[in-house]
Structure 1
Amino acid sequence: MSAHAHGPANRGRRVLDAAAPLFVCEPGGRPVGGALVLHDVFGVTEHAEEACRALARRGRLAVSPYLYHEHGGPAFAAEELAAARTQMEELTPTDLAADVGAALGYLESRRTGPVLVVGFSMGGHLATWAAAHHVVEAAVAVSPSAGPWPGVPSVEALVAGRRSPWLGVVGGADGRVDADRLRAAAGRPGPPAAVEVVDGAGHGFYRKDALQRDGGLWPLIRDFMAGHRPPG
């Protein structure tokens, strides 16, 4: 497994004005699939990088776009929340669509096979947006809080209009995410969708689990995908 940064991931079919550079983790052998990790408000921190490494250890070619790349792709510490929120608020729907689309295009160009999208907090909103606009193996939104981007529909509206299987993972003590509203949206006709609640967990519980622990987030994701994998 190796990790490196990759330059703008333009697809070749069209020019993307703001395609974000990628943090890339290669699996040890031939990929069994791809993975797109969408970071939370703090940027591509060690947590996002370790999520990519954990997915690479499971055989996936994993990438995480530096969504703050126009400002040098910074990552912020927990005590820099105000500065991180400023960066988040400066993102535009056009640039976000280009960055997410280009990352998926890079994985497509590498012929990885099915792509799993995983997003945390604001990245959970973006993962849900991806599920509504792209056909992927599954989109997983962990603590999916609404981003402040005019023109991007709410998480619930995106779940209701999904094109891909969607899993929401919500902390039971998270006052920022309404699990009942997500369940109602997941019940709308469409590809499989579900909401899992982690008892007693607050909004940022995922920062203690970058998908590496067998008793953490990964079993929920694995079981959801296994339950909805097409036969054959």
Structure 2
Amino acid sequence: MSTAFTPAVATVESTRIHTDEQGLVTRDIRFLRDDTHITAYVAQPEGTGPFPVVLLVHEIFGVHEHIRDVARRLAKLGYLSIAPELFSRQGDVSQLHSIDEIRPIVAQVPDTQVLADLDAALDWVVQHGGDPERVAITGFCWGGRITWLYAAHQSKIKAAVAWYGRLQGERNHLQPSHPIDASAQLQAPVLGLYASDDSGIPLDDVTRFQAALAAVESPSRVIVYPGAPHAFYADYRPSYRTSAARDGWQKLQNWLRQHGV
């Protein structure tokens, strides 16, 4: 597993945040599902726990340094965070040099595989100091879409926060449904953090999704940050917007506490 930023990120911006490991225990682990070892990065507070759990779902770039840093940020808040590599069966994106090289790998990844791998990650973390009664999930971009789907899939989740994940699209055997289809099946309240100027997720999609949630009287909610672009939390990229990122991070903390995680 890469411990640096992926080469597909040509330049790491000066706004990049670095979270130290003081007071934390961090490690790379492997867990088994269906005779396949999945690698993951784990960060947690020092001590024996049990700790509340946050499953952390990466962007299209995989578990590179930004996601590892987010895991440490969660650990600083008292969570045991695990970030599994969810593309590993299809290929290693950590050493690829462009997003155009990464997309064909990601396009081969079935939703069913991802959800099952997250189930296995949850099983591992519960056996290694995680509290099964306090489990949440959060994810960014590609992982934001997965966050919605996992909240509809896994009844052990108490809360979820989805950062600018795609809400609808074409359906096929790899992606048979999208968050818009799962709005009535959510088993946990989800907070969606979106951007008004996201070139990949039209505001009409967000508005339509908000209406779908309202129609089923869902406790989930979606917030839209005016003037923010896609990936506004990605502090290592030009898309980073300090105000929206900080507000979203605070809202994540409030949401998890509000729902007992």
Q: 1:43 to 1:108 in 2, by over 3 A?
A: same
Unaligned 5+ runs, structure 2:
1-23
- Deviation digits for residues 98-136 of structure 1, max 9, x if unmatched? 211111212222352211100111111111111001121
Pairwise CA distance, 1:227: 3.9
1:61 alignment partner AA: L
Once the two structures are TM-superposed, the CA of residue 93 in structure 1 deviates from its matched residue by: 2.8
TM-score by length of 1: 0.84
For residues 220 and 151 of structure 1, the distance between their equivalents in structure 2, rounded to whole angstroms, comes to: 29
Query: Is it true that 1:86 corresponds to 2:104 in the alignment?
Result: yes
Report the Cα distance in structure 1 between the residues aligned to 2:215 and 2:95, rounded to whole angstroms: 37
TM-score by length of 2: 0.75
How much does 1:9 deviate?
Answer: 4.2
Rounded to whole Å, the distance in 1 between the matches of 2:126 and 2:215 is 29
> How far apart are the structure 2 equivalents of 1:49 and 1:147?
29
1:165 maps onto 2:185 in alignment: no
Distance 1:88 1:3 in 2: 27
Report if the CA contact (8 A) 1:157-1:185 is conserved. no
Distance 1:73 1:56, change over 3 A: farther
**Structure having the larger proportion of residues in helix:** 1
Q: Which residue of 2 aligns with 1:74?
A: 93
Secondary structure in 1 matching 2:106: helix
How far is the alpha carbon of 1:26 from its aligned partner? 2.1
The alpha carbon displacement at 1:215 in A equals: 2.9
Q: Over aligned residue pairs, what C-alpha RMSD do you find?
A: 2.7
Offset, 1:204: 1.4
Matches within 5 A, 1:88-127: 88-113=106-131, 114-127=134-147
Confirm or deny: 8 A CA contact 1:44 1:74 kept in the other structure.
Answer: no
- Structure 1 spans left out of the alignment, 5+ residues: 11-15
Q: Match for residue 46 of structure 2?
A: 28
CA deviations 1:178-197 (Å, max 9, x no partner) are 32122122224365201011
Deviation (angstroms), 1:31: 4.5
Fraction of identical pairs, as percent:
26
Q: Is the alpha carbon distance of 1:133 and 1:188 closer, same or farther for their aligned partners in structure 2, counting shifts above 3 Å?
A: farther
Q: C-alpha distance in 1, partners of 2:73/2:253?
A: 13
Indicate the structure (1 or 2) with the bigger Cα radius of gyration: 2
Deviations 1:67-86 (A, max 9, x none): 12235643267x61111111
Deviating more after overlay: 194-203 vs 107-116: 107-116
Structure 2 distance, partners of 1:59, 1:221, is 14
Query: 1:28–1:59: 8 Å Cα contact kept in structure 2?
Result: no
Query: Equivalent residue of 2:229, what SS?
Result: coil
The counterpart of 2:161, out of the listed 137, 140, 145, is: 140
Decide whether the 8 Å contact of 1:26 with 1:62 is kept in 2: yes
1:62 to 76, 81, 100: 81
| 1:224 maps to amino acid | W
Cα 1:111/1:24, change in 2 over 3 Å: closer
Give the secondary-structure state (helix, strand or coil) at the position aligned to 1:48.
Answer: helix
- 1:118-165 Cα deviation digits (max 9, x unpaired): 011111111111100112121111011258763431121123320111
**1:7 is matched with which residue?**
30
Distance 1:157 1:117, change over 3 A: same
Structure 2 residue identity aligned to 1:163? Q
The match for 1:13 is none
Aligned amino acid, residue 184 of structure 2: A
Deviating above 6 A after TM superposition, structure 1's stretches of 4 or more consecutive aligned residues are: none
Q: Relative to structure 1, is the Cα distance of residues 31 and 182 closer, same or farther in structure 2, using a 3 angstrom cutoff?
A: farther
